[in-house]
Every structure is written in C-alpha cells, then in structure tokens.
Amino acid sequence: MAKVRETRIGLVELVVRRALAVWVVGTLCALPFDLGAAVGLALGGGLGIGSVLLYRGLARAWLRPERRRRGKYVLALLWVVKWPVLGGLLYVGLRFGQASPVWVCVGVGLVPAVVAGVGVWTLLVPDWDRKATLELR
C-alpha cells in the first residue's frame, strides 16, 4: 500500500495548471473580438477541465486506503450525474446563449491539446518527474 500513496500523478496536475492558463488567456483574448467565440471557448474549456478534475478526484478517492474512502461514493455519484449536467449546459449554452459551436469544440479540445503539448515537453525535459511527484493525502 505504500506505493499507492506515492503514485505519480503530478503529470495530471501539470496538465490541469497548463490547461487552466490556456483556457483563461484564450477566453480573455477572444472576448473583445467575438463574444460567441469567447463564450464557446469558456463553455467547452470549462467542460473539459471540469471532467479532468472530476476524474482526478475519482482516482484519488479510489487509490486511498480503505479507511479513508468516504468520499468515493459521492464522487461516483457525481460521475453519474455529470452526463446530464454536461448535456444541459451544452443545450443551454448553444440554444439560448451566445456560444459558437465551433468554439465549444475548440474549448473541449483544449485539454487534449495541452496533454499532447505536455507529453512532448516531458520527452524533451527528462527530469520533469522530480517536480511532478504528488503524494496522495
């Protein structure tokens, strides 16, 4: 069990930080030029980053020792509820909001793009994992 507590999930933290930065900067840069693009990017990026954060929480809850798994059932319920909530947000954002469908897709693709960029970066910088170790608590 000691190895589970020291699972290296710092790469996920790195992706989340980078994706948040790109999401905020991209949305703020698009805002003065095209409201539909900014709203679509904000909606799609929020959905993608929110999903990653939920999966990170689920992984942390399930990897904890048995005595500390209280929150895993709440997170599992959130995972089930996530799909209707995502569908509702997309419906409202595209039907009644100003969101551009193309920019929603760009926003959803933001996290995979950041994952690819971080993957290339980890290949170019061999000692990245010294900073990326995160102990589960």
Grouped pLDDT means (10 residues each) for the chain, 137 residues:
48 85 93 90 91 82 66 75 87 84 90 86 70 47
| pLDDT at residue 70 in the model | 62
| pLDDT at residue 24 in the model | 94
Tell me which residue of 99, 77, 74, 68 sits closest to 5, measured CA to CA. 68
Tokens of 96: 């009644």
| pLDDT at residue 6 in the model | 43
- Rounded Cα distance between 134 and 8, Å, is 6
Tokens of 123: 């290949």
Convert the chain into a string of H (helix), E (strand) and C (coil): CHHHHCCCCHHHHHHHHHHHHHHHHHHHHHCCCCHHHHHHHHHHHHHHHHHHHHHHHHHHHHHCCHHHCCCHHHHHHHHHHHHHHHHHHHHHHHHCCCCCHHHHHHHHCHHHHHHHHHHHHHHHCCCCHHHHCCCCC
Indicate the pTM of the whole model.
Answer: 0.74
Asked if 49 contacts 22 with a C-beta cutoff of 8 angstroms, the reply is no
Tokens of 67: 């005595």
Which residue in the block uniquely carries the two structure tokens 């980078």? 18
| pLDDT at residue 90 in the model | 86
